Amino acid sequence: DVKVTQSSRYLVKRTGEKVFLECVQDMDHENMFWYRQDPGLGLRLIYFSYDVKMKEKGDIPEGYSVSREKKERFSLILESASTNQTSMYLCASTRGTEPNIQYFGAGTRLSVL
Amino acid sequence: EDQVTQSPEALRLQEGESSSLNCSYTVSGLRGLFWYRQDPGKGPEFLFTLYSAGEEKEKERLKATLTKKESFLHITAPKPEDSATYLCAVKRGATNKLIFGTGTLLAVQP
């Protein structure tokens, strides 16, 4: 079974703090994704990585950056957390070949106060 | 612009009362439509992938079908444990990225 592990289930941070969200997958997947999920808005793609050290902006990258130094690990960084970044963050991974099923972690619920 | 719309937003059923969830999509050249189930406080769990109009897939009480403009998730004789949010997504062009709908929240009452 594919396993995607997010380091924290719940986080509470203060405005202006630098926040790191970590994601690890154990299936040697090439592609990894970070989404945020908000009520009424669904899942929105923040960043995408298709290989080590390679990244691509998604639909809402502002205020976020990412790091992928190793194939199994994809980190999401909030450089200076703001209250509008309070959300559920979901990491996913998939192979580079069809059928490209995305497998998700359990999510990190981040509250920025 | 690629778009995915799910309806209804919420659906309440009695146990055993069959129904369908809808996912309509606008995408240039469909390269895969995905259904996921999401339980509260958890990440989405993959259910089905469909690729071409007329295709159907089944798993227990769930059956997914696909036409050129929409997909249906049919739930036959649902049980309370089928209660969840069901998400639909389509692949964007030649990429591995997905566009998600906002989901249907299903509640099945005993």
pLDDT at B96: 79
CB < 8 Å to A3, chain B: none
Partner-chain residue, chosen from B49, B87, B101, that has the shortest CB–CB distance to A99 = B49
Interval B62-67 mean pLDDT: 97
Say if the Cβ atoms of A40 and B98 lie within 8 Å: no
Q: How far apart are CA A41 and CA A30, in angstroms?
A: 27
Q: pLDDT per residue over A32-91, tens digit each?
A: 999 999 998 999 999 999 999 899 999 999 999 999 999 999 999 999 999 999 999 999
Distance CA A12, CA A55 (A): 27
Contact list, A99 vs chain B (CB under 8 Å): 32, 49
CA nearest to A50 within chain B: B96
Please say if the pLDDT value at position B18 is more than 80.
Answer: yes
pLDDT surpassing 90 at residue A25: yes
Mean residue pLDDT of chain A comes to 94
CB contact under 8 A, B97 and A109: no
pLDDT over threshold 80, residue A99: no
Shortest distance between the Cα of B103 and any Cα of chain A, in A, equals 7
Which residues on chain A are in Cβ contact (under 8 Å) with B41? 106-107, 109
